[in-house]
Amino acid sequence: MYSTILSGAVYGIQSYLVQVEVDLSQGLPCFAMVGSLGGEVRESGERVRIALKNMGIHLPPMHIAVNLSPADIKKEGTAFDLPIAVAVLSSMEKIKKSAAEGILILGELGLNGEIRPVKGVLPIVKKAYEMGIRQCMIPEKNVREAGLVQDIKIVGAATLSQVISYLNASEEKREEVICPFMGDGEMFGESETANPDFSDIAGQESVKRAAVIAAAGFHNLLVTGPPGCGKTMIARRLPSILPPLSRQESLEVSSVYSIAGMLDEKKPFMDKRPFLSPHHTISPQALTGGGKIPRPGIISLAHRGVLFLDEMPEFKKQTLDALRQPMEDKKVHISRACGTFTYPADFMLVGAMNPCPCGYYPDRNKCRCTPFEIHNYISHISGPVLDRIDICVEAPRVELDKLMKGKKGESGESMKEKVLEARERQKERYGGTKIRFNGELCTKDIEKYCVLGSRQQEMMKKIFHSMGLSARAYHKIIKVARTIADVENCSRIEEKHLAEAACYYPRQ
């Protein structure tokens, strides 16, 4: 007897549909599985057999062959347990042949028949909807996650016996077994705690100004200063002044976190921009993504959000250099023996560093670092990486009177208002194009949208020759100047905007 069930899987970050085929025939009794299977999938046969046995259903002494098609793609994970069990039961005629037609099925089986949650449900359900599937049967604990996809019927099952009863019931009585619901795409969950506010930071107005410009144009930012001056506090507050995620961006980020198995059951979506702050001992593979079939790395988990590297020179040079291509292309390409994978990596890099190993240079009353030690420390950040950082600003030591007065600085609400207004101007300017903000402008776009007058061109000539800029740095300064003009509600780039942008140019 032959039967087939529709399922799905994730390969890298792309999802695809899988046909689970089962054939029962006379021959040496066995449970054979084929289709380029990973370790967890090969173990599915044993989980299915024991789960059925504990429900009082014994497999017949026949040759049971299971094929997962397409067979040329490596299958990983435990989500095939339930579709394999349903296909086997269908071949044994315990479930009606046409009962599961047009239903995508996912789920891990416990040995007692319990259906447990699996990773990657959101992108798989999205793919199913794109392919015309309008009903999915998934673990009960993944229902809220799948509900983010609109106009698709979601059936959340808790046990295998419940699945059997649902599929064997008539269409009219199925809702009495499991009450399905139609995905409405609503973002629901527990409320978040309040974000820390910029007003908590004493002084550092120049750094706050740089933070507003970086957030407005989605520019990379590097803050340099002595220990305890507030570099980390500023970085951790940056997401609070960024515009909220749009629905499309939220689904993108949620899909990445679903694949990584990092979505919360109570709140199965990302409604806030990610903020990732890896330790400096992180490896290049953990940063970009790794494994036999690579999983999303830290830079992909920071997609549409902030990647904060505290004590940036403490990171391995090889790790920092791995950021060069993602910072430019907004995606990361990983090649393995099993194939090539592309992950999203559209993040805002924020770095913090001390000016020397002890942190107090150029204060020679405190700093005892030699010129060689300082050079060796700074050189961990290579020229190509530094050239991709749009804004570099120094955070001075905070004076005592500013701390003792207790006077609050500019609030995050005021800073966010400036950012949103600048983003609105960019939205109007780039309407009808794929460009969203100034940080995404390429050379051709700069010539079109960042037109300089004769005086501004003359000023840029002087800046270019006096600072010894590269072609990339030249365009970075113009992009930052465009953002400064947007923050100040100016339609054209003026000399003062170019001068301020040039002051932010990072120097080694």
pLDDT per position as a tens digit, 166-210: 999 988 889 889 988 887 666 554 445 566 778 778 778 899 999
Q: Are residues 378 and 505 in the same domain?
A: no
- Report if residue 427 sits inside a domain: yes
**pLDDT (tens digit per residue) in 320-368:** 999 999 998 899 988 877 777 888 999 999 999 998 999 888 887 888 8
Residues 268 and 401 grouped into a single domain: yes
> Is 371 in contact with 327 (CB distance < 8 Å)?
no
Average pLDDT, the chain: 89
Domain end, chosen from 152, 182, 212, is at 182
pLDDT of residue 183: 73
426 pLDDT exceeds 90?
yes
- Which residues are registered as beta bridge partners of 153? 135, 182
471 and 419 in one domain?
no
> Is 95 part of a structural domain of the chain?
yes
Residues 373 and 225 in one domain: yes
Percent of the chain with pLDDT over 70: 95
Mean predicted confidence (pLDDT) in 272-296? 88
Both 507 and 392 in one domain: the answer is no
Per-residue pLDDT of 457-491, as tens digits, reads 999 999 999 998 888 889 999 999 999 999 999 99
Alpha-carbon dihedral sign for residues 93, 95, 97, 103: negative
Task: Please write the tens of the pLDDT for every residue from 198-244.
Answer: 877 877 889 999 999 999 999 999 999 988 888 999 999 999 999 99
The reply to whether 499 and 425 lie within a common domain is no
Residues 318 and 245 in one domain: yes
How many structural domains comprise the chain?
Answer: 3
Confirm whether 188 is domain-assigned. Answer: no
Question: In this structure, are 151 and 214 located in the same domain?
Answer: no
Instruction: Kindly report the CATH number assigned to the domain that includes residue 384.
Output: 3.40.50.300
pLDDT band at 402 (very low <50, low <70, confident <90, very high): low
Contact indicator for 66, 29 with CB cutoff of 8 Å: no
Where a domain ends, among 408, 435, 462?
435
pLDDT tens digit sequence for 96-152 = 888 999 999 999 999 999 999 999 999 999 999 999 999 999 999 999 899 889 889
pLDDT tens for each residue of 380-400: 898 889 888 999 999 888 776
Ranges 93-97, 106-110, 154-158, 416-420: which has the least confidence? 93-97
* Structural domain contains residue 193: no
State the pTM of this model. 0.86
The owner of tokens 């003026």 is 494
Do 390 and 505 fall into the same domain? no
What pLDDT sits at residue 194? 60
Tokens 């890099």 belong to 349
Amino acid identity of 483? Answer: T
Examine the pLDDT at 423 and tell me if it is beyond 50.
Answer: yes
> Which pairing describes strands 181-182 and 153-157: parallel, antiparallel, or unpaired?
antiparallel
CA distance 389 to 249: 24
- Among 13-17, 72-76, 311-315, 360-364, whose mean pLDDT is lowest? 360-364
DSSP state of 355: S
Claim to verify: residue 149 and residue 225 sit in the same structural domain: no
Q: Which domain holds residue 371?
A: 198-435
Asked if 267 and 408 sit in the same domain, the reply is yes
For position 55, which CATH number holds? 3.30.230.10
Do 226 and 344 fall within a single domain? Answer: yes
